Amino acid sequence: MSELPPVVLQPVRIGVVSVSDRASTGVYEDKGLPALQDWLGRAVRNPVEWVPRLIPDDRAVIAQTLRELVDDAGCHLVLTTGGTGPAVRDVTPDATLDVADKEMPGFGEQMRQISLRFVPTAILSRQRAVIRKQALVLNLPGQPKSIAETLEGLRDAEGRSVVPGIFAAVPYCIDLIGGPYIDTRPEVCEAFRPKTARRVVIEA
């Protein structure tokens, strides 16, 4: 068992970024930010301080936004949606690498494994994950349904996990880079930690 002391859940600051030329100019309603906040709001038990951004598909703008969210706003976790395909204007992964201290390739590999259960074109996705300073930055798909599937994973008819979602590994990753202890609601997503890293959560 863990010998770590109990913990009172602290606020976690999460940056959510929707990357879309048309949504950012008002051509259509953005659905990426609501989808991210809806799922994370249901999954995370900590108080969440949201830092949302709606920006165009521009590599320099994306990179600057990610730097600002981590360096200035102090986000512990940043999730982007949109711009991860092979089209000319799909530059979110490239901008993400521009600001990276370390790349975390396992997240992108798992996202593609989940999406390939539904569409063969998932192999065209270029989603990445990186660490910048004290924050984990994740590129997610653009569709709300795919965002939830990627984060939560896939379950069978009895509710048992068939393919793990990527968010199960996020809280422990945040632990390892010096962020706050994040607890999750197991009915949405059960965070995985080694026994030696688990802590008793005290309600504030």
**Number of alpha carbons in the 13 Å side-chain half-sphere of residue 104:** 20
Q: With the C-alpha atoms ordered 50, 34, 120, 187, is the resulting torsion angle positive or negative?
A: positive
DSSP 3-state of 161: strand
Q: Is residue 139 part of a domain?
A: yes
Tokens 């709606």 sit on residue: 54
User: Is residue 145 one of the residues assigned to a domain?
Assistant: yes
Is residue 2 included in any domain, yes or no?
A: no
> In this structure, what token pair is assigned to residue 129?
């994950």
Please state, in angstroms and as integers, the Cα–Cα distance from residue 46 to each residue in 14, 38, 43, 59, 160, following that order.
11, 14, 9, 32, 25
* Model pLDDT, residue 62: 98
1 is a domain residue: no
pLDDT, position 204: 62
Examine residue 30 and state whether it is found in any structural domain, yes or no: yes
Question: If you search the block for the tokens 């309603």, which residue do you land on?
Answer: 29
φ, ψ of residue 43 to 5 degrees: the values are -85, -35
Strand pairing report for 77-81 and 135-140: parallel
| Structural domains counted in the chain | 1
What is the domain extent for residue 76?
7-202
Give a yes or no: residue 153 inside a domain.
yes
Say what the pLDDT of residue 6 is: 92
Residue written as token pair 């997610």? 140
Tell me whether residue 11 is in a domain: yes
Q: What pTM does this model have? A: 0.94
φ/ψ bin of 74: left (φ > 0), alpha (ψ from -120 to 50), beta (otherwise): left
pLDDT digits (tens, 9 = 90+) for 35-81: 999 999 999 999 999 999 999 999 999 999 999 999 999 999 999 99
Enumerate residue ranges in the chain where pLDDT < 70.
1-2, 204
Burial (CB < 10 A; 0-12, 13-18, 19+), residue 158, is: exposed
Q: According to the model, what pLDDT value does residue 3 have?
A: 73
CB 185 within 8 A of CB 14: no
Tokens for 60, please give them.
């320099």
Q: Strand, coil or helix: what is 95? A: helix
Give the pair of three-digit tokens for residue 20. Answer: 């879309």
pLDDT value of residue 115: 92
Structural domain contains residue 107: yes
Q: Given this model, what pLDDT does residue 1 score?
A: 52
Q: Which pLDDT does position 160 carry in this prediction?
A: 77
Residue 123: CATH number of its domain: 3.40.980.10
Q: What is the pLDDT of residue 2?
A: 59
